[in-house]
């Protein structure tokens, strides 16, 4: 039976009258497959979401990362409810603030302190300010195309951004050691920090794991030149390793930025650092109306403890490997060339000869019609709630999706 998306269409029309663009940012309908995807979600449970028309989908975007234990996870909800019963937004922090800082410091081998904010952009921007305060230098080195948020120093678009906003940001090519060392030698005395993601995972691009010497070279360059090494672990944090993705890849940074999976959907980000940066962290003035709200802090304590209890990172990795194996086999059976890239816990698939994501969009459209929510041009996310039933239903949908792509595009 054909899916109805009329509720979504009506809401979008109403939104377009009162919100610029209707839905803005990365959730704008144009980033998916217009007409095929719903625009509004009404509820979630475990690994599933339901749109406002009542259609159910297995969720492979997980709110672009925040949902890591599954929607409405009972342990997280219980922690939140218990805090809510006492109110949570005060003029001073509550005990959960210290509990979370202690928990994260205990889990993160390199870090001696933690501070909290709301979004990934808060944490990455804060990290650059601390690097500048610590070194007395201005410039930040980043990889071309890497996404670090929407602050003006790193916003991927140009509207509303001035040259001055980015005047102290210089770049190199991810995984290109010559480009990295060249940029450092060119700017060494002016560089406050180097910020990188654990691996290359920006949208519209195959994911790339770090080449073996990538992180250790950054570490050595930072040590040699007194530069602060900032790891932007906003997307991968708590999905690869609870000790941090720096630890996972064998090289520890000086500052680490977390967000997304930290609170299983409750808005929280964290910045963690080494002892040597404590003074600079204290000097930089950063705060926000909701940054110390105990609700999200309690959610994060529960999320991290639960991920540890159930060995969540291993579970997501294993599911991701099974998903990837199934997709690779189906693609081959249909004579289609695909690339499955990145870490299995954050899977992604692109088609060969598909620079404008035409095949990927058709494949995603066929999947969403069958109740599986993927993204054509952004990496996907898993939760620990994805299990055998989800995998089986997913592979049934993807089989039909590959068949549709093969029929349209096979030579």
Binding residues for ligand PLP (CB under 6 A):
119-121, 124, 147-149, 197, 232, 234-235, 259
Can you say how many angstroms the Cα of residue 313 is from the centroid of all Cα atoms in its chain? 15
- DSSP secondary structure, 19-71, as one string: STTSS-GGGSGGGS-TTTS-S-EEEEEBTEEEETTS-EEEESSGGGTT-SS-B
- Count Cα atoms within 13 angstroms, Cβ side, for 229: 21
Neighbours of 292 (CB within 10 A): 20
Task: Tell me the closest approach of the beta carbon of residue 217 to ligand PLP, in angstroms.
Answer: 20
Task: Tell me the closest approach of the beta carbon of residue 391 to ligand PLP, in angstroms.
Answer: 25
Closer residue to ligand PLP, CB minimum distance, 147 or 351: 147
Closer residue to ligand PLP, CB minimum distance, 55 or 124: 124
Which is nearest to 195 in space by CA: 243, 133, 132, 240? 132
Closer residue to ligand PLP, CB minimum distance, 52 or 230: 230
Closer residue to ligand PLP, CB minimum distance, 63 or 384: 63
From residue 207, alpha-carbon distances to 181, 379, 382, 407 in Å are 22, 8, 16, 27
Task: Tell me the closest approach of the beta carbon of residue 233 to ligand PLP, in angstroms.
Answer: 8
Task: Tell me the closest approach of the beta carbon of residue 362 to ligand PLP, in angstroms.
Answer: 25
Task: Tell me the closest approach of the beta carbon of residue 235 to ligand PLP, in angstroms.
Answer: 4
For 232, phi then psi, to 5°, come to -90, 90
Closer residue to ligand PLP, CB minimum distance, 133 or 146: 146
From residue 147, alpha-carbon distances to 150, 174, 197 in Å are 8, 12, 8
Task: Tell me the closest approach of the beta carbon of residue 285 to ligand PLP, in angstroms.
Answer: 20
Which is nearest to 107 in space by CA: 218, 248, 215? 248
Q: Measured at CB, which residue is nearest to ligand PLP?
A: 120
Q: Calculate the CA dihedral of residues 47, 347, 128, 299 and round it to 10 degrees.
A: 20
Task: Tell me the closest approach of the beta carbon of residue 185 to ligand PLP, in angstroms.
Answer: 26
Closer residue to ligand PLP, CB minimum distance, 232 or 252: 232
Closer residue to ligand PLP, CB minimum distance, 111 or 362: 111
Q: What is the DSSP letter of 343?
A: -
Task: Tell me the closest approach of the beta carbon of residue 335 to ligand PLP, in angstroms.
Answer: 34
Closer residue to ligand PLP, CB minimum distance, 147 or 373: 147
Q: What is the DSSP letter of 4?
A: P
Instruction: Using CB atoms within 10 Å of the CB of residue 319, give its burial: 0 to 12 exposed, 13 to 18 middle, 19+ buried.
Output: buried
Closer residue to ligand PLP, CB minimum distance, 46 or 120: 120
> How many residues are present in the chain?
411
Task: Tell me the closest approach of the beta carbon of residue 194 to ligand PLP, in angstroms.
Answer: 15
Is the distance from CB of 192 to CB of 139 less than 8 angstroms?
yes
Instruction: Using CB atoms within 10 Å of the CB of residue 152, give its burial: 0 to 12 exposed, 13 to 18 middle, 19+ buried.
Output: middle
As given in the structure block, the two tokens for residue 365 are 């459209």
């Amino acid at each position: 039976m054909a899916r109805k998306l009329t509720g979504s269409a009506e809401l979008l029309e109403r939104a377009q009258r009162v919100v610029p663009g209707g839905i803005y940012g990365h959730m704008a309908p144009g980033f998916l497959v217009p007409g095929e995807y719903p625009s509004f979600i009404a509820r979630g449970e475990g690994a599933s979401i339901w749109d406002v028309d009542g259609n159910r989908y297995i969720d492979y975007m997980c709110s672009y990362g925040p949902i890591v234990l599954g929607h409405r996870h009972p342990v997280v909800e219980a922690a939140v409810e218990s805090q809510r019963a006492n109110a949570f937004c005060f003029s001073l922090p509550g005990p959960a603030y210290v509990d979370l800082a202690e928990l994260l410091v205990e889990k993160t081998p390199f870090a001696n302190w933690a501070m909290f904010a709301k979004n990934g952009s808060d944490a990455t921007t804060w990290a650059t300010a601390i690097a500048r305060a610590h070194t007395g230098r201005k410039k930040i080195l980043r990889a071309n195309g890497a996404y670090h948020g929407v602050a003006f120093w790193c916003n991927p678009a140009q509207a509303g951004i001035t040259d001055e906003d980015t005047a102290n940001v210089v770049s190199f090519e991810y995984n290109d050691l010559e480009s990295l060392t060249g940029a450092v030698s060119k700017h060494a005395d002016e560089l406050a920090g180097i910020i990188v993601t654990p691996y290359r995972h920006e949208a519209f691009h195959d994911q790339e794991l770090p080449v073996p010497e990538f992180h250790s070279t950054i570490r050595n360059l930072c040590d040699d030149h007194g530069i602060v090494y900032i790891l932007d672990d906003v997307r991968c944090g708590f999905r690869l390793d609870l000790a941090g993705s720096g630890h996972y890849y064998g090289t520890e940074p000086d500052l680490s930025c977390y967000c997304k999976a930290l609170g299983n959907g409750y808005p929280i980000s964290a910045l963690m650092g080494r002892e040597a940066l404590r003074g600079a962290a204290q000097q930089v003035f950063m705060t926000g109306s909701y940054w110390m709200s105990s609700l999200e802090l309690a959610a994060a304590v529960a999320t991290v403890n639960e991920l540890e209890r159930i060995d969540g990172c291993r579970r997501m990795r294993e599911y991701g490997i099974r998903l990837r194996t199934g997709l690779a086999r189906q693609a081959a059976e249909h004579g289609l060339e695909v690339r499955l890239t990145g870490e299995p816990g954050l899977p992604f698939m692109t088609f060969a000869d598909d620079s404008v994501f035409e095949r990927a969009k058709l494949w995603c459209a066929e999947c969403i019609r069958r109740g599986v929510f993927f993204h054509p041009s952004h990496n996907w996310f898993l939760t620990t709630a994805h299990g055998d039933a989800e995998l089986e239903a997913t592979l049934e949908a993807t089989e039909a999706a590959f068949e549709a792509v093969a029929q349209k595009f096979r030579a």
